[in-house]
Structure 1
Amino acid sequence: MELKDIWQNHKSKIIVGAIIILALYFVYNFITNAALYGIRGEFANSYPAQDGFDSGLNYGAALGLGVQEESAVSKIARTILPPEPQTPASTDTIDPNDRKIVKNGSLSLVVNKIDEAVMAISDFANNAGGFVQNVSVREVNDNVKSGTITVKVPADQLETVFDQAKSIAVKVAREDINTQDVTEQYIDLDAQVRNLKREEESYLKILEQAKTIEEILNVSQRLSYVRGQIERIEGQLNYLSRQIEMSTLTISLTSEADVQIFGVVWSPLAEIKRAIRNMFSSLVSYANALIALVFALPVLILWLITWGIGLWIVVKIFLALKKKFYKSKTSTKVPPRTPPAI
C-alpha cells in the first residue's frame, strides 16, 4: 500500500491523533510549570523620595525656595546637612560571643498521658524563666489524645528544657534544634536607626529657622516621614532582639497506643495522622493544578486552534507537492512499444 493510499484511508484519524498528542503535550507543560512557579516578593529597605525632596537632598528646593529668593532657612540648610550614612561593620571581625543568634527547637513525642505531659513541660518552662505561649489538646478516639504545646524560654536554657521534655517521653519520634545567625541583619537595622536619627536632628535644626508657613509645612512633612521610618525599623529591631533573647520550643504530643506486636510498640495513631496529612497535601496539589488548568483552558484552546491550522497547512502543502511530483514522474515515462503486426 502506498503512502498516498494510507493517507487517504486514515486521513481523519491521523489529524485527530496529532491534535490529541499536541493537546496532551501543552496540558502537561502547563501543569508542570504551574507547580514550579511561585510568587516571590522583595521588601526594600530604602524609602522613596517624596514630593519636594530630590535624591540629592537639595534643601533649598525642598523648602519651596526659588532661585531668586533665598531665605534664612535655605542658608542654614546648606550648612546643616545630614551626616553621611554609616556603613555597617563587617561581621567577619565580630567576636563569636557577640554574634546575634536566633535558636529554636521542635520535638515530636509519644507519651503515656497528654495532660500530665503538658503540665510537666509547663513546669520545665516556668522553672527555666520562660512561659507557655500556646497549648492545644484534642481527643482523637476514646482515651487517645494528641496535642501541641509551645513554650518560650531563655536562649541559654533551651537545651535544658529540651532534654527535660525528652525525659518524660515513651518515644522520641523527632527532634530538631535550628540556629540562625542574624548578626548582619541586626547591625544593618541598628545602623539605619542611627542614620535616621541624625537626619531627624538635622531637620529639627532647620525647623527652628523656618519662618514661613510653607517652609514649616515642608520640613514638618519630611520630619514626620523620617520619624515614621525610625519607628518602623526600631520595631523590627526590637522584634529581632526578642527572638534572640527568647527561644521557641514547639512540642507535638501523641498518647501511646496500647498495641504491642511481639514486644514491639506500634503507634498506629501517629501513622494514621501522617497518612491523612499526606492525603490532604496531595488533594491540595491536585486542586491547585485543576484550578490552574480550568483558567488556562481559553489559552490552551487558542494554542490548539493555532497548531491545528498550522498542521492543516503543512498537510496541504505536502499533498500538493506529492501530487505535483507524482504527475511529473508519470508524464516522463516512455510508453511501451507496440509489436509490429504480422
Structure 2
Amino acid sequence: MIMEFLKCPHHTGNSITMKYITLISAIWLLTACSHKPQSEATVDSASPAVTANEAAPVALDAPADEKAFLSADAVPPGQPSPEKPSPEQKIIKTARIIYSVEDFAAAKKRVAGIVSQSGGYILAESQHGDGTEKRNQLDIKVPAAAFDSCVDRLTSGVTRLDEKSINAQDVTAEYVDLNARMTTRVATEQRYLEILKQARTVKDVLEVEAQLKSIREEIEAAKGRLLYMDRLVSYSTIHLEYYQVLALSMPEAPGFFSRAWLALRNGWNNVLGLMIDLMGWWPLMAVGVFLFIFIRRRWRKKQSLTTA
C-alpha cells in the first residue's frame, strides 16, 4: 500500500514539497542556534571590573556632603585632615633706650650715623635742656631685619645705661582675621555689582548702591589697617633718649677735676638761684625792714626818756 502511495504522481509532488519545507526548517533552526545570546555569567565576566584604587563616580544628584565624601580629594571620616600652611608671622618690635653721654654733640652725630647705616630714619626728635643738663629724645624707624643690630650698636660703649627694654607684639591672628574679612567683603561687593546690573527700578538701584557704599567703606578701612600693620611689621621703632650732665645735679659726673669744676659752677648757680628766689619775696622783706626800723626807733626813744 505504501508503494502504491509513493507511485502515485499526485502524492509524489506533495512529498517533494514536504522535503523542501523540512530542509528550510532545518536551516532556520541552525541559524537561530548560532545567534543565541550569551549567558549572564559570560556578560559579567566580560565587563571591566572596578579596581580597588579606582574611585567610584559621583552621582550628579547626590547631596553636597555625599559628593565631598565620594570625591577622590575628600578626606574619609576619622582620618586627619591635611595640615594647611601656617600664615607668615607678623611681629611688631619696639625698643626703649635711655643713657647718659659725655659729649652731647658727638653722641648726636654717632646716633645719626648708626641709623643711616642701618637703613632707617629719624621720625621725630625733641631736644631740650636747662642749666644742669642737655637731653635729646628721638623716635627712630629701622627695618625689622636690622632692628637687633641697631639696638646693639646704639648701646655699645655706653658708660651709664639707665634703661633698655625690648617689646615684641604678635599681630598674626589679627592680620589673618582682618584679611579674611576683607576678602569676604570683596566677594560680597562683586555679588552686589551683579545685582545692580539686574536692577530695573530706581528704588532698587538706590538700595543696592547704598549697600555697595557701606561695603566699600569697610573694604577701604580694612585695607588701610592692613597697610598700617605691614608698615609697623616691616619697620621697627626705637625710642632713644640720651643726655649730658652739665652741672653737679647728679653724682655720676666723670672725673675728679670735672666734678670739682661742676661743683663750683653748681655753687654759683645756687647763689644766683637764691638771690632770684629772694627777689620774689620783696614785699615780705619790705615789711620786715619797716618793722625793724619802727621797733628800733621806739626802743631808742624809750631809752632816752629813761636816762633823762
Q: TM-score, normalised by structure 2?
A: 0.52
Which of 126, 129, 142 matches 1:136?
Answer: 126
Cα gap change, 1:214 to 1:237, in 2 (>3 Å): same
In the alignment, the residues of structure 2 paired with residue 260 and residue 241 of structure 1 have an alpha-carbon distance, to the nearest angstrom, of 42
Cα gap change, 1:260 to 1:222, in 2 (>3 Å): closer
What does 1:198-213 correspond to in 2, within 5 Å?
198-213=187-202
What does 1:108-257 correspond to in 2, within 5 Å?
108-141=98-131, 144-256=133-245
Aligned match of 1:101: 91
2:112 is matched by which residue type in structure 1? S
SS in 1 for 2:130: strand
Is the 8 Å Cα contact of residues 107 and 252 (structure 1) preserved in structure 2? yes
In the alignment, the residues of structure 2 paired with residue 93 and residue 99 of structure 1 have an alpha-carbon distance, to the nearest angstrom, of 15
Cα gap change, 1:121 to 1:263, in 2 (>3 Å): closer
Stretches of 4+ aligned residues off by more than 3 angstroms: 92-96, 256-266
Identify unmatched segments of 5+ residues in structure 1.
1-91, 269-342
Is the 8 Å Cα contact of residues 109 and 172 (structure 1) preserved in structure 2? yes
In the alignment, the residues of structure 2 paired with residue 118 and residue 93 of structure 1 have an alpha-carbon distance, to the nearest angstrom, of 49
- Superposed displacement of residue 113, structure 1: 2.3
Higher Rg: 2
- Superposed displacement of residue 168, structure 1: 4.6
CA RMSD, Structure 1 to Structure 2 (Å) = 2.7
* Deviation by residue 1:16-35 (Cα, 9 ceiling, x = unmatched): xxxxxxxxxxxxxxxxxxxx
Is the 8 Å Cα contact of residues 143 and 234 (structure 2) preserved in structure 1? yes
* Deviation by residue 1:217-252 (Cα, 9 ceiling, x = unmatched): 000000011000000111111111111100000111
What does 1:297-308 correspond to in 2, within 5 Å?
none
In the alignment, the residues of structure 2 paired with residue 101 and residue 202 of structure 1 have an alpha-carbon distance, to the nearest angstrom, of 35
Is the 8 Å Cα contact of residues 140 and 146 (structure 1) preserved in structure 2? no
Cα gap change, 1:261 to 1:191, in 2 (>3 Å): closer
Identify unmatched segments of 5+ residues in structure 2.
1-82, 263-308
In the alignment, the residues of structure 2 paired with residue 117 and residue 176 of structure 1 have an alpha-carbon distance, to the nearest angstrom, of 20
Is the 8 Å Cα contact of residues 109 and 254 (structure 1) preserved in structure 2? yes
* Deviation by residue 1:95-130 (Cα, 9 ceiling, x = unmatched): 59x311111111011111233222221221121111
Cα gap change, 1:136 to 1:183, in 2 (>3 Å): same
Q: TM-score, normalised by structure 1?
A: 0.47
1:196 is matched by which residue type in structure 2? R
2:126 is matched by which residue type in structure 1? S
Is the 8 Å Cα contact of residues 245 and 253 (structure 2) preserved in structure 1? no
2:92 is matched by which residue type in structure 1? V
Is the 8 Å Cα contact of residues 112 and 169 (structure 1) preserved in structure 2? no
In the alignment, the residues of structure 2 paired with residue 111 and residue 123 of structure 1 have an alpha-carbon distance, to the nearest angstrom, of 16
In the alignment, the residues of structure 2 paired with residue 193 and residue 121 of structure 1 have an alpha-carbon distance, to the nearest angstrom, of 41
In the alignment, the residues of structure 1 paired with residue 141 and residue 197 of structure 2 have an alpha-carbon distance, to the nearest angstrom, of 47
